[in-house]
Amino acid sequence: MRYRFAMFTLRLDNNTWLLAAMALAIAPHTPRLPIWISLLCLAVGAMRLIEVRLPARWLLITLAAATAAGIYASYHTLLGRDAGVALLVAMLTLKLLESRTLRDSMVAIFISYFLVITHFLYSQTIPTGLYLLLVVLIITATLIGINHPGRQIEPRKQLRLAAVLLGQAVPVMLVLFLFFPRVPGPLWGMPTDAYEGMTGLSDSMAPGSISKLSQSGAVAFRVAFDGSPPKPEQRYWRGPVLDFFDGRSWSATAAPDPKPADITVTGDPVSYTLTLEPHNKRWLLALDLPAKLPPASRLGPHYELLADQPVRQRLRYRAVSYPNYRAGLYPGATELNRSLRLPALGNLKTREMAGAWKRAAKDDGEIVQRALELFRNEAFFYSLTPPLLGINSVDEFLFDTRRGFCEHYAGSFVFLMRAAGVPARVVTGYQGGETNPFGNYLIVRQSDAHAWAEVWLKDRGWVRVDPTAAVAPRRIESGLAAALPAGEPLPLLARMDNAWLMQLRMSWDTLNNDWNQWVLGYGQERQYDLLSRLGFEMASWKELAVSLTAGVGALLLAFSGFMLWRRVPVGADPASVIYQRFCRKLARAGIVRLPNEGPADFAQRTAMLRPDLALSSTSISELYIALRYAPHPNASDLRQFGKRVRAFQSQLPD
């Protein structure tokens, strides 16, 4: 192979390494990319693998323009997370069609490094991190290979050297991670589509919306209580409150009251720390009813907890709630009137039944009980797959299908109450949770999503009423899986009842929670806590910069001193490295090897000066000569050679 520094032709082995590194970096993105981009990657990779002649520059420019136009047609933009990643993948692939020089290959490798980072825009889990670490290892090994164009490197040695380089970078990485100044917000704005597809409660509720969410086993939030957790029937996690019904779906009023009504609490408070997964909405989840609010939040007009900004990153906050409370004893007329509104037409049967109840009841509390008795005593069924409903959805559910999920029962109950003149509204959130005994915290999943109702009763204020508890009480006491019959489309996690599978799942969740808390959740507050323990009280940016510089500098000095102490040149022969230790030991004993002295002559002179070392020095020198000039030294012989030198070093005192 002809080689010049300015020009570089990829050998087949380096070409294979580069293609493998790029394929591993691109692979996790393929399910998110248009199929034609994946086919483009395969075609270009095959061309380089079989060493097809590279296209002319004009053809390459035309292909790049067509690719950009195709991405614009697929995403209607070239900006944003998804379109930007697709453009980066496509252009990295096309870079292979012009990789003729060392510079081109280096550019492709560094773009691959950058592409690795883009995966964290979609996932930041432990498996993702481990996979990307493997990809970085392969890319680094590829970088090592193309920087040794004059000779072949064994793949095992190439990977080992890459692992050593990454291992040496770990201490520096830890120092940067711990001491690089954290800021309260992001350093730059994320593209808007980076927050699409986040799972969570919606700001509206229609038949089937929560049942669809309940088929997801994704974690909604985790809760660590300061003391004993409340009973299952008290674990109502309040989310969006919906008070407007358009005949089909429930939603929140566009112009809510400026502040919530009065609240009176009784009993002992419940203190806890909640770690909320991002959902791109403003509401925070809190145990009904929150009393102490986390920073940058407020209590909404319906006692829902609202953040100042949409929750787009995992959020950890402290909260205090009172399970026993009275709220809204003296609401305004506007709030009560809003809680009585119904569409002018539709659901005539339900209106007539509610009117009959109102005429026969002594008070509003009796109307509530009549509705609960209807659900409890009639043939209603709790199901994740109810029949579809038409225009008069409430009538069809109450009098015909009688099969539904929590949104069907909560929505029809509130309609009944309003038709009977009782102020009522729908509350959505989560109910229950699963205790993790390994981490001593509660896991609340999307499958725990729930909807219930609140009615306003004189002298009692807003009272929680859960009609689902009348139909399927086991849903409240034991969770969703216990309330549904076999065959319902529950997430796999909800069906796992095997003991060892349960332990494995909880252990894995504990590991994920620690990863979230101490790695992904290492923000400004945790950094200040660490610095205060190290003696830096309220460290400034200047002190952080000094600590960072000092830490990295100390590590670099330690690495430099270690390498100088070892004095092992890069690419040195292993047998020569071991033999040099033997020579240095003899030099400390006063027997210095001359520059022009071969190993056999040196061993002979050593035997003359120190007859007691004749046997060991001669055997070591003979073994060294055999290994040094062997075409392919045996690994076991090298280990044996190292043992003899170590034994000699221990035999000869300093």
Give me 640's structure tokens: 């044996």
Alpha carbon distance, N-terminus to C-terminus of the chain: 50
Give dist(CA 375, CA 286) in Å, integer. Answer: 28
- Long-range Cβ pairs for the range 581-589 (8 Å, 24+): 581/645, 581/649, 582/620, 582/624, 582/645, 582/648, 582/649, 585/648, 585/649, 585/652, 586/617, 586/652, 588/654, 589/652
Say which residues have a Cβ less than 8 Å from residue 400's Cβ, sequence separation at least 6: none
Q: How many residues does the chain have?
A: 654
CB of 371 closer than 8 Å to CB of 467: yes
Asked whether 321 and 287 are in contact (CB, 8 A), the reply is yes
Tell which residue, 293, 238, 284, 134, has the closest CA to residue 449.
238
Contact 189, 430 (CB under 8 A): no
**Closest of 405, 422, 519, 411 to residue 471, by C-alpha:** 405
Residue type, 66: A
Amino acid letter, residue 48: R
User: Which listed residue (29, 119, 279, 450) is catalytic?
Assistant: 450
Give the CA distances from residue 85 to residues 31, 89, 114, 392, 503, in Å, rounded to whole numbers and listed in that order. Answer: 12, 6, 10, 46, 38
Which of 406, 408, 448, 509 is catalytic? The answer is: 406
Reduced 3-state DSSP string for 180-212: CCCCCCCCCCCCHHHHCCCCCCCCEECCCHHHH
Active-site pick, 82, 243, 448, 466: 466
307 Cβ contact partners less than 8 Å away, ≥ 6 residues apart:
282, 283, 284, 296, 297, 315
- CA atoms within 13 A of residue 498's CA, in its CB half-sphere: 6
Cα–Cα distance, 22 to 114 (Å, whole number): 11
> Would you call 450 a catalytic residue per the annotation?
yes
* CB count in 10 Å sphere of residue 593: 20
Structure-token pair, residue 220: 């909604």
| Dist CA 147 CA 113 (whole Å) | 17
Instruction: Quote the DSSP letter at residue 31.
Output: G
DSSP summary character for residue 570: T
Burial 441-472 (b: 16+ CB within 10 A, else e): bbbbbbbbbbbbbbbbbeeebbbebbbbbbbb
406 is catalytic: yes
Q: Is the dihedral of CA 515, 518, 519, 523 positive or negative?
A: positive
Q: What is the DSSP letter of 401?
A: I
Query: Which residues are known catalytic residues?
Result: 406, 450, 466
